[in-house]
Amino acid sequence: MFKSIFTNSAGILTSRVLGFVRDMLTASVLGAGVFSDIFFIAFKLPNLFRNIFAEGAFSQSFIPSFAASAHKPLFSVSVFVRLFSVIVLMSLLVTLFQGAFTALTAFGYSNEVKAIAAPIVAINFFYLDLIFIVTFLGALLQYRKHFATTAFSTALLNVAMITALFIAKDMQKLDVVYALSWGVLAGGVLQVAVHILAAKKRGVMKLLTVGAIRFFRGDKNAAADTNRFNRSFLPSIAGSSTAQIAAFVDVWLATFLASGAISYLYYSNRIFQLPLAVFAIATSMALFPSVARALNRGEEATALAQLKKAFWFLSFLLFGFTAGGIILSKEVIWLIYEHGNFTRADTGNTAAVMAMYMIGLVPFGLSRLFSLWLYSKHQQLKAAKISAISLACNAVFSIVLMQFMGAAGLALSGSLTGLLLFALTLRAFGFERLKSFFDARYAAGLALFLAILIATLLFLRGIIDAYLRL
C-alpha cells in the first residue's frame, strides 16, 4: 500500500512544485488583476473537470465496474466512446457559443471583460477532451497497479505553461494570457502521448484494440456493465468533487467582488491543494483498488485495517500542514508569490484567504478516505446526496460570509462545507466502525506532535516577521 502511496505522492509533489514555479511566474508577469482573473476564469472550468475526472469520479465508478465485467475490452471501449463523444460535443458548443458560456462563468464582470475572456475560455475548454483520454488510460493503468505515469504526467502540463510564460513574458498582458492558454493545450497533448506509450507497454492498447473491433461490429454483450457504470458515474461526480465544485462556486461569486479577488482565491487554493493532493488524494487513489477488491471478496476486516493505517498516516500529515498553513500564511505567500507585479497588499489579502482555506484541509482530506468505503460498496448515490447537502449549505455560507469577509469569507465557507461533508461521510461510514480506528498511543503522539510543531512555528514566525516586518 505505502509503495503505491509514495509513487502517487512523489508524482503529484513533482507536479505541484512545478505548478508553484508556474504560479510564481504568472504572479510576477500578470500580478493579481483583471488579466490574471481572466485566465483563471478560463482555466477554472476545464481544471475543475480535470480534478473531477483524474482525482475522483471516473476512477471510482470505472474501476469497480471494470473489475466486475466479464467483457472488459468491450466494456472499456463502450464507456470511452460514449463519454468522449459527449465531451467533444460540449467543447464544440462552448466554442460556438463562447460569449454566452463566458457570460455565465464570469457573471459579475463587465461586458467588455467578458468579450475579452470569451475566446480564451473556448481555447482552454478543449483541455477537457485531452484530459479525459489521460484519465481513461490512467484508470486502466491503475487497475494494473501502475501509478507512476499518471502521477508524474501532470508535470508536463506545468512544463508547457512555464515554457509559454518564458516565451511571452515581455509581451502585452493579454498576449501572455493567450500564450498560457495554448500552453495548456500543449501540456494536454504531452500527457496523452506519455499515457499512450505506457498503455502500449503494459498491454492496455491491445485490450482496447480487441474491444474496439467488437464494439464497431455491434457487439452488445457489455451493455449491462455499461449501464451499471452510467448509473454510478453521475452520482460519483457529485459525491467525490465537493471541494472542487465549492471552489468553482467561490470563483463565480468572486466575480461580484473587487478586481483581484479571483486571483487571491486561486493562488491561496493552490497552496491548500498541495497537501490535499500529495497526501489525501494520493493515498485514496492508491488505496481504492485494494479496498474495493477486499470488500468485493467480503473481507471487511482487511479493508478496515487498510483504512485505519491510512487514517493515522493522514491525520499526522494533514493536522501538521493545517497548523503550518494557518500560522505561516503570510510568510508562505510572501516567499512564493511576492515578486514583480504581485504587491505586499496582494500578499496580505491572499494570506487571509489561505488561512481560511487551511481550516478545511483535515475534513476534506479525511472525508476522501472514508468515502472510499461508499464507492467500494457501490453506494455512489448516497455519496452524491451527502455532497448535494454540503454544496447547498456552501452556497448559503458563501453568500453570507462574502458580505462581511470578501474573498476570505468565500474560503471560510468552503472549509465549513468540508466540516459538514466530513460529518455526513462519517455517519454513512458508521460510527461503530470508526471506533475501531481509535488507538491511544497514536492519539497521544498526535497531540504531542502538534504541541511541539505549533510552538516551533510560532517562534519561527516571530523571527521571520521581525526580519521582514510583514
Q: What domain range includes position 377?
A: 241-470
Q: Residue 382's pLDDT is what?
A: 83
Q: Residue 35's pLDDT is what?
A: 79
Q: Residue 14's pLDDT is what?
A: 81
Query: For residue range 327-359, what is the model confidence (pLDDT) as tens digits?
Result: 999 999 998 888 777 888 889 999 999 999 999
Instruction: Tell me the three state secondary structure of residue 119.
Output: helix
Residues 282 and 177 in one domain: no
138, part of any domain:
yes
Residues 290 and 214 in one domain: no
Which of 239, 264, 292 lies at the terminal end of a domain, its last residue? Answer: 239
10, part of any domain:
no
Residues 394 and 409 in one domain: yes
CA 225 to centroid of chain Cα atoms: 28
44, part of any domain:
yes
Residues 120 and 253 in one domain: no
227, part of any domain:
yes
Domain count, the chain: 2
Which of 205, 239, 273 lies at the terminal end of a domain, its last residue? Answer: 239
Residues 167 and 197 in one domain: yes
Query: For residue range 273-308, what is the model confidence (pLDDT) as tens digits?
Result: 888 888 888 788 778 778 877 887 788 888 888 899
Instruction: With 0.85 as the threshold, say if the pTM is over it.
Output: no
Query: For residue range 2-57, what is the model confidence (pLDDT) as tens digits?
Result: 566 666 677 777 877 887 788 888 878 887 677 777 787 777 777 766 666 655 56
12, part of any domain:
no
426, part of any domain:
yes
Sign of the dihedral through C-alpha 451, 457, 459, 462? negative
Q: Which of 145-154, 184-193, 425-434 has the highest mean pLDDT?
A: 184-193
Mean pLDDT of the chain: 84
Instruction: Cell numbers for 78, please give them.
Output: 463502450
Residues 142 and 247 in one domain: no
Q: What is the DSSP string of 21-61?
A: HHHHHHHHHH-SSHHHHHHHHHHHHHHHHHHHHHTTHHHHH
pLDDT band at 457, cuts 50/70/90? very high
Residues 246 and 233 in one domain: no
Residues 73 and 140 in one domain: yes
Residues 51 and 183 in one domain: yes
Give long-range contacts, CB 8 A cutoff, 24+ apart: 130-133.
130/185, 130/188, 130/189, 130/191, 130/192, 131/46, 131/49, 131/50, 131/53, 131/54, 131/188, 131/191, 132/53, 132/83, 132/84, 132/87, 133/84, 133/192, 133/195
Q: Residue 465's pLDDT is what?
A: 79
Residues 448 and 373 in one domain: yes
Which of 172, 207, 239 lies at the terminal end of a domain, its last residue? Answer: 239
User: Within a 13 Å sphere around the CA of 338, how many CA atoms are in the beta-carbon half?
Assistant: 18
153, part of any domain:
yes
Residues 212 and 325 in one domain: no
Residues 305 and 452 in one domain: yes
Instruction: Tell me the three state secondary structure of residue 108.
Output: coil
Neighbours of 464 (CB within 10 A): 16
425, part of any domain:
yes
Determine the average pLDDT of the residues in 360-385. Answer: 85
Amino acid letter at 336? Answer: I
Q: Which of the residue ranges 52-61, 155-164, 376-385 would you say has the lowest mean pLDDT?
A: 52-61
Burial track 390-424 (b if 16+ CB lie within 10 A, e otherwise):
bbebbeebbeebbeebbbbbbbbbbbbbbbbbbeb
Q: Residue 2's pLDDT is what?
A: 54
